[in-house]
Amino acid sequence: MLQVDRLYEAVAEKSPVCVGLDTDFSYIPEDKVDTTLTKGENIFRFNREIIEATRGIAGCYKVQIAYYESFGLDGMIAYKNTLDYLRREGLVAIADIKRGDIAKTAEMYAKAHFEGDFEADFITLAPYMGLDSITPYTEYMKNKGKGVFVLCRTSNGGAKDFEYEKLADGRHVYDLVGDKLNAMGRDYIGGHGYSSIGLVIGGTHIEEAKEIRAKYKDSFFLIPGYGAQGGKAEDIAQYLSAGNGGVVNSSRGVLLAYKKQPGVGYAEAAYNECVNMKEAIADACSKL
């Protein structure tokens, strides 16, 4: 089965909530740190408890590699263990690695993150160097059912620096990127009508939201920006299609939810936040 079909079904069964495991050691409450373990081991233990608490609500999990790289080999073991745990438990794992390099190098990135120690179901890519920086990953779509999410219109303020620039034909740069990736993705359509080549569409900018969703009907969206970055459910809902066709990532909002719920443990607080997020998005979708 294609991973994009698994993801669609997970969203249908649970919700479009994507828990971002962008875990910094400082996020772990001081009284919950086991001093007999390394920082990486503590991070993995924290992740595992968050996953177990939220697995009935979250459609998928996104693991941001930079947070683990910052702790060196110890951190990368935690990264591997987190991905292994997710995949062993049958949960959809997105590795947020944002790679984007020339074809031969891309082949090595594909091998590194679609097989071996760091295998994930999906990875994120940056398309700035062109479609030949994306093509090497398609072998894994064909042969292993893997998927990618490619940066198109992102949630950060700096998106306006390049992505919103106008082309001679009136389109934005992000339109050009989306159009080319959408066309490329038609060769990898799954059973639910979505391509294994998805798009990263930030939820903090709502201009032309309905147009973007309508234009890229067969592109599954990874939607960052909810919660801590300011994206609201009513804005996010416009990028979904009948509550599916995308996953909505929240990282700090879930991992640090315990700071806004006095007396509640971090795993239970994460669950509560995911429930609130699921309900808010469902309510917003019902009003469209």
Q: Active-site residues: which are they? A: 98
Cα–Cα distance, 282 to 204 (Å, whole number): 18
Cβ 75 vs Cβ 38: under 8 Å: no
Burial of 24 (0-12, 13-18, 19+ CB in 10 A): middle
Burial of 168 (0-12, 13-18, 19+ CB in 10 A): exposed
Which residues, in sequence order, are CB contacts of 262 under 8 Å at separation 6+?
Answer: none
Give the N- to C-terminal CA distance of the chain in Å, as an integer.
Answer: 31
Cα–Cα distance, 255 to 253 (Å, whole number): 6
Residue type, 227: G
Burial of 131 (0-12, 13-18, 19+ CB in 10 A): middle
Cα–Cα distance, 152 to 174 (Å, whole number): 5
195-226: string of b/e by CB count within 10 Å (b at 16+)? bbbbbbbbbbbbeebeebbeebebbbbbbbbb
Q: How far is CA 8 from CA 13, 123, 185, in A?
A: 9, 16, 16
Strand partners, 145: none
Q: How far is CA 74 from CA 25, 28, 43, 66, 183, in A?
A: 12, 16, 10, 13, 41
